[in-house]
Structure 1
């Protein structure tokens, strides 16, 4: 009986495109995220607490500085998915070719500007040396180009290929980081491994895309694409600020030791977002395709919301009941001082996961009014942490309050704008 039930469940997953894509991308992302946490697990032990705090602040900075690349990826996913839904693969190839040529020059300019700013960045983050910042700057030579290829793969719903590439890149990051840190390069080695793994991952993305190079180019409307880029850019800017501003401000206002402890706390808290992230990534191209074909993307949002919610609540359950055990296993006993914060900080990341879900849905369905709501949340977060930072508890409660307010505003916006779509019971 149980065997028959299992077979029926597997058949049901295979028959539902969203569930099958989510399962594939979830497994791949889970493996990649386990690898990423192995990277942090090892770096937390191989670097000093202060060094690990510096690594976290640099990685947070890279996410904020990489917002234009993330915006580019989202735009590419949107239009690749729309073209694929209409069987216009020639336009997909044109999209890949056009943006690769135009972005190459921009990446060089961006890199030069980052180099000139490196001394100021190092001073703000209280870094002893500017070298880690310079190494991080090298990643911007590749991150934009990688966003184009990854965006095409995601838009074409090649989630299996994306998952494999992500796992391979993560493995290289771990191996290179361990090797370079053991050779004595410390923080420089850890950051260098991140950059080298990104370069390797970029070149691998060409393998599943080689079939496109056999296509003929077809003219695409670039003005519409660039108009769409603006709300995408500001959405990702505000989302990145919501996700990373606390890390940077804590590193600035608190001691190196407390900065390292908070960096470790965010690594664990972000697990909630990372595990639910694949569902959001799968939802975006599928909701976009449904919207392009006059379908009902809200049905896809409903399935995504259920999965993201269940996953987040499951992780929170362990964080509140077994914080010490989680910390010992994932980042080491020297960070046990953050055990009281873990569950409460996790709540803010649970809210953030749902904020991410709604924001990606709105972008997929070409709604832009919500951008201001996320901007308000990001601004409020920065102001409150800058004013109230006597201890880490204040930061954690500010995070929870701001995330909850932002989520409630997005839910209200959803029900106000949902009137133009087929009603869906959430």
Structure 2
């Protein structure tokens, strides 16, 4: 009773509430994917996995705008912030419009490339792309201003609407088609826009920013865009390559493996969302930033170790509970895939830390090893096990290089401070 009273007396911080919200959102997204896997079966789930992967790719591209908005929402205030946010909204909308049109125009080619049953799912998905980019800028503003309540609402609205709409149509109308999943994704972008500050979005002429600020923003845009490209390659290339090289049934099995193994990455993303504004704010105040990095690295390392041990100890039970007997062939690879994603998640924290500080070397390192992962899978894909082993090699090398670079920077900064 005394423990309960103590917990009630303690108020959760906005950061803690946001962390709980992200865990709930990730849980909901997992539930969405797990139910699709069970209801559709491996072959049809392979098509769904392509759309879900496209959604992840889109999220990484749009994340460029979100992170740029988040960083400069910390640095800019009043009139300067209003000019900045209006300009970013405009840029994001037209970028989303262009990408959406490209997806719609090349829908048939995408169907052929990824061996899907329909091209209409790509057309429907393309209509939602501009909305997703607007949603990302909106989230970036809340992230930078540390308005974690509003930020949590946008993520929850997107997740819940996609879950309820998609599964509602599939289960109530008994329609098991890829276009249903695409409609659920499209409508969820609209729900994810709320709460939305419409006054900040305008097509009218925007007051130009000072040349110094413009150069600073462009530099961070380029750094972030390049890094998000490496994220797309590392986090999604394996599923798309497996879909290309393997039969539909095997691709569906691999999609289930990737979904379970990536839980480490999705949990790590929660800490990245908190890391960037915290590091930028400390740098602005001239304070030490490494302590924030160490804290989040510690969290992820502990969580990763627990997940790997659980996957190693009872892989068959996990797969039976989450996806069912049809996917049991993936059990021996589960802990190995978890190792690969754990190393990627830790490397990711290092990269985003340096990205927050405008350091570009870790971004280039990630790009090199992202391409290495693709090359390894292209040349070595005799089996699904070999695909996983290639990812472990690439991510192990990436983590080692990131640690070496971090150590080098610490020693270099100490030498400079002594001179």
- Scaled by the length of structure 1, what TM-score is found? 0.89
Residues 332 and 185 of structure 1: CA distance in aligned 2, closer, same or farther (over 3 Å): closer
Q: CA deviation at 1:113?
A: 1.9
Aligned to 2:181: 190
Q: CA deviation at 1:414?
A: 1.4
Residues 274 and 102 of structure 1: CA distance in aligned 2, closer, same or farther (over 3 Å): closer
* Aligned CA-pair RMSD: 2.6
Distance 1:356 1:388 in 2: 25
Distance 1:356 1:387 in 2: 25
Question: Deviation string for 1:337-358 (max 9, x for gaps)?
Answer: 1111111110011111111111
Distance 1:257 1:148 in 2: 38
Question: How do 1:17-416 residues align onto structure 2 when only pairs under 5 Å count?
Answer: 20-83=13-76, 88-182=77-171, 183=173, 184=175, 186-202=177-193, 204-206=194-196, 219=209, 221-416=213-408
Aligned partners of 1:169 and 1:198 also within 8 Å: yes
Q: CA deviation at 1:412?
A: 1.1
2:106 alignment partner, SS class? helix
1:3 has 2:3 as partner = yes
Q: CA deviation at 1:68?
A: 3.2
Residues 285 and 346 of structure 1: CA distance in aligned 2, closer, same or farther (over 3 Å): same
In structure 2, stretches of 5+ residues that fail to align are: none
Question: Deviation string for 1:178-228 (max 9, x for gaps)?
Answer: 1222331521111211121111111x1316x98999xx9895622320121
1:48 alignment partner, SS class? helix
Distance 1:227 1:21 in 2: 31
- Scaled by the length of structure 2, what TM-score is found? 0.90
Distance 1:106 1:283 in 2: 26
Distance 1:360 1:313 in 2: 21
Aligned to 1:17: none
Distance 2:152 2:301 in 1: 22
- How many correspondences in the alignment? 408
1:47 alignment partner, SS class? helix
Q: CA deviation at 1:328?
A: 2.1
